[in-house]
Amino acid sequence: MARTMHQKTRRVTDRPQPDSTSIESHSMKTSNRILVAVILTLSCSSSIQAQLEFEHEPISYHTAPVNDRVTQLISAIEDGTAELQWDDEHGWLPSLLEALEIPRSSQMLVFSKTSLQLNRISPLRPRALYFNDDTYIGWVQRGDVIEVSAVDPTQGTIFYTLSQRDQARPTFVRDRGNCLVCHASTRTKGVPGLLVRSVYPSRNGQPHFGLGTITTDHRTPFSDRFGGWYVTGHHGDMRHRGNAIASDSRSKPIDPEPGANCENLNGIVRAKPYLEPGSDLVAIMLLEYQSQAHNALTRASFQTRRAVHYDSIMNKALDRPADFRSDVTKRRIRSAGDQLLRHLFYCDEFQLTSTIRGTSTFTQEFQQQGPRDKQGRSLRDFDLQRRLFRYPLSYLIYSQSFDALPQSVARYVEERMGDVLFGHDDSPEFAHLSDADRRAIAEIIQATKPALWKRLSDD
């Protein structure tokens, strides 16, 4: 039977009592501050270097035109074909979600101080996240802004803020580099991108950095996920780090048992200020996968464009044919394509040992979007018993980002995809795909994306 956290532990919302296990020593606080400073210094250094690369051709991240979902909304507001309505309790949030076609059911609550408005985030007032296939929203109680990010088909993730002020026209501001301190590093595959982190949160939401943090995706062991997150849903005998405040003990910083299989947030945190009553487990798991899959798409695009651009310069200098491709360029394209392919086929996915079930309508709403073949099958069909999806090829093959991949890497990925599906590639990394899986995926592609099917079968 499902348990709620308050049945076995003290409420997270209770004021901590001054005992030996809840009081951090002065030396530990000092060490954490020093470690935070070092982490920020290293992050800034790598991010500044990345930004310098992004600013130049062929990427021109901050100057090239973009056409993401938020840019389209801004244009529609400016020409009068769309508008947002102010809500006295949540500001622009409800209307923004509707305009961007982001379901409320995707709501997830994060209480670790790991984002832009960290001073307003705590276990008492978690940050709410919402998303669809390409756009992400972050809302904080009493926040000055709504955090918005959207994936542009060629430029990757673009970051915005929306001022939480009641005015005639909402004001979006595109970020000019601050977000890239965290969102352009090895954690995002070296491109402007997204990440989900699992931390060991203290009682005020500050991570115990000395215990380490993890960037999670579909490959991460379930037991390492969701630290600093509230989680509602059923997951049987599996355990995670969510719904828990961590101690600074290296041997056992979190007891996962009390926060397991929470069907609601009663006794954990006050959910009334939010649009939805829970923090859906399936939505969080999908966000983990999708964030890094988007990063892999962006990396494949950036790496290919850079490599081809370099060749074009060298071709002119050495009087070579314009379409000449050096061995270095070919290797860079193959490397980026192989990494993307592993994400598209959910390679190395953590194998579930218990059935997963969320607590909102998110699972049903996500699956209803299709498209489906004549047998009613879709790449959006969840499995949630052994793995995340029933047919393990990513639904992101329908995305504009996939369709906008530079031709050379697109052809490489499609050629290898065809080899995998038609049984010509029996590499160990694709051993999780049974013959039935490959056949079903091929049939779904043939019915729902015939242009891609034609390219696969022609190869």
pLDDT value at 17 more than 70: no
- Around Cβ 306, how many Cβ atoms within 10 Å? 18
Q: Is 287 part of a structural domain of the chain?
A: no
| Band (52; pLDDT cuts 50, 70, 90) | low
Is 51 in the same domain as 75?
A: yes
Please state, in angstroms and rounded to a whole number, the distance separating the CA atoms of residues 308 and 138: 36
Residue 225: per-residue pLDDT: 98
Q: Is 394 part of a structural domain of the chain?
A: yes
Is 325 in the same domain as 270?
A: no
Rounded to the nearest 10 degrees, what angle do helices 450-458 and 435-448 cross at?
A: 120
| Band (50; pLDDT cuts 50, 70, 90) | low
**pTM, entire model:** 0.88
Please state, in angstroms and rounded to a whole number, the distance separating the CA atoms of residues 340 and 457: 20
Is 196 in the same domain as 310?
A: no
Residue 389 amino acid letter? F
- The model's pLDDT over 69-126, given as tens digits with 9 standing for 90+, comes to 999 999 999 999 999 999 999 999 999 999 999 999 999 999 999 988 999 999 999 9
Q: Is 399 part of a structural domain of the chain?
A: yes
Contact present, 299 and 311 (Cβ < 8 Å)? no
Is 154 in the same domain as 302?
A: no
Residue range(s) defining the domain that contains residue 81: 5-282
Backbone angles phi, psi at 94, to 5 degrees: -60, -45
Residue 46 amino acid letter? S
Torsion sign (Cα): 382, 387, 393, 396 = positive
E strands along 290-422, which residues?
none
Helix residue ranges per DSSP H, 56-185: 69-78, 93-99, 180-183
Is 217 in the same domain as 298?
A: no
- The model's pLDDT over 154-198, given as tens digits with 9 standing for 90+, comes to 999 999 999 999 999 999 999 988 888 888 899 999 999 999 999
Residue 22: per-residue pLDDT: 37
| Contact residues for 279 (Cβ-Cβ < 8 A; gap 6+) | 107, 108, 109, 126, 229, 230, 231, 232, 265
In DSSP terms, 151 is beta-bridged to: 157
Alpha carbon distances (Å) from 252 to 11, 201, 256, 261, 265: 20, 13, 10, 20, 24
Calculate Rg over the CA atoms of the chain: 23
If one counts the domains in the chain, the total is 2
| Band (49; pLDDT cuts 50, 70, 90) | low
Is 271 in the same domain as 347?
A: no
Is 106 in the same domain as 192?
A: yes
Please state, in angstroms and rounded to a whole number, the distance separating the CA atoms of residues 98 and 343: 29
Q: How far is CA 207 from the centre of its chain?
A: 20
Among the candidates 282, 300, 321, a domain finishes at 282
Is 196 in the same domain as 320?
A: no
pLDDT value at 406 more than 90: yes
Please state, in angstroms and rounded to a whole number, the distance separating the CA atoms of residues 83 and 71: 14
- The model's pLDDT over 407-447, given as tens digits with 9 standing for 90+, comes to 999 999 999 999 999 999 989 999 999 999 999 999 999 99
- H/E element, 367: helix 362-367
Among the candidates 250, 282, 314, a domain finishes at 282
pLDDT value at 152 more than 60: yes
| Band (248; pLDDT cuts 50, 70, 90) | confident
Is 224 in the same domain as 352?
A: no
Is 166 in the same domain as 195?
A: yes
Is 257 in the same domain as 320?
A: no
| Band (15; pLDDT cuts 50, 70, 90) | very low
Among the candidates 232, 254, 282, a domain finishes at 282
Is 259 in the same domain as 306?
A: no
Contact present, 281 and 259 (Cβ < 8 Å)? no
Residue 12: per-residue pLDDT: 37
User: Tokens in use for 128?
Assistant: 């709410």
Please, what's the b/e burial string for 319-358 (b: 16 or more CB within 10 A of its CB; e: otherwise)?
eeeeeeeeeebeebbbebbbbbbbbbbbbebbebeeebbb
